[in-house]
Structure 1
């Protein structure tokens, strides 16, 4: 089971994207727990849950550098979601990005 965490400003703008990613995962028979949270919840979630990849919504791309440093010891891939895929709510492409980062 892959743990895919999406982070956005309030945790709500990515909820539609999460639904589309879950649909794509089901169609591709990929077992994944895909969820979205607000930036204020990241520390708490990473303390209590093992996450395989952390994807940032384009609106919080400025957090990437700080997260790369702060969570370096966790060895979690951290990347910004492609802006076009985010804007088009292309769940299949964002899922592909996450799976590629997990390796």
Structure 2
């Protein structure tokens, strides 16, 4: 688990200043960045392994399968299961 508090502490900034500077330099919030990073990892695992969707969600830092499914669909436009099927179709 990664928290904003931990990230801010690593660079010796307050949480609010860290969040403002992160968004200013990266273009979106640290929370959005972490979520996209986790979804990208999930995409890789769904395409490269036979792990269950639940295992992939937990491995990528999601602790709630409903939230994982919602975030995954928001970023990719597909459910994790649909994404895996599409990846297997394209890789043939």
> Looking at both structures, which has the greater relative contact order when contacts are Cα pairs under 8 Å and sequence separation is at least 6?
1
Give the TM-score normalised by structure 1: 0.23
More helix by share: 2
Q: Which has the greater radius of gyration? A: 2
Give the TM-score normalised by structure 2: 0.24
More strand by share: 1
